[in-house]
Amino acid sequence: DQQVKQNSPSLSVQEGRISILNCDYTNSMFDYFLWYKKYPAEGPTFLISISSIKDKNEDGRFTVFLNKSAKHLSLHIVPSQPGDSAVYFCAASETTGNQFYFGTGTSLTVIP
Partner 1 sequence: SAVISQKPSRDICQRGTSLTIQCQVDSQVTMMFWYRQQPGQSLTLIATANQGSEATYESGFVIDKFPISRPNLTFSTLTVSNMSPEDSSIYLCSVQPFYNEQFFGPGTRLTVL
Which residues lie near partner 1 (CB under 8 A)? 2, 4, 9, 32, 36, 41-46, 49, 89, 91, 93, 95, 98-105
- Name the helix (H) or strand (E) containing 48: strand 45-51
Residue 39 phi/psi, 5° resolution?
A: -90, 155
CB 12, min distance to partner 1, A: 19
DSSP-derived letter for residue 40 is: T
Is-contact 13 109, C-beta < 8 A? yes
Q: Of 21 and 80, which has the nearer Cβ to partner 1?
A: 21
Distance in Å, CB of 11 to partner 1, minimum? 16
CB of 18 to partner 1, least distance (A): 25
Q: Which is nearer to partner 1, 43 or 112 (CB)?
A: 43
Q: Kindly tell me which of 16 and 46 has the beta carbon lying closer to partner 1.
A: 46
Contact (Cβ atoms closer than 8 angstroms) between residue 79 and residue 61: yes
Peptide bond before 44: cis, by omega within 30 degrees of 0? no
Nearest distance from residue 59's CB to partner 1, in Å? 14
Smaller CB distance to partner 1: residue 65 or 102? 102
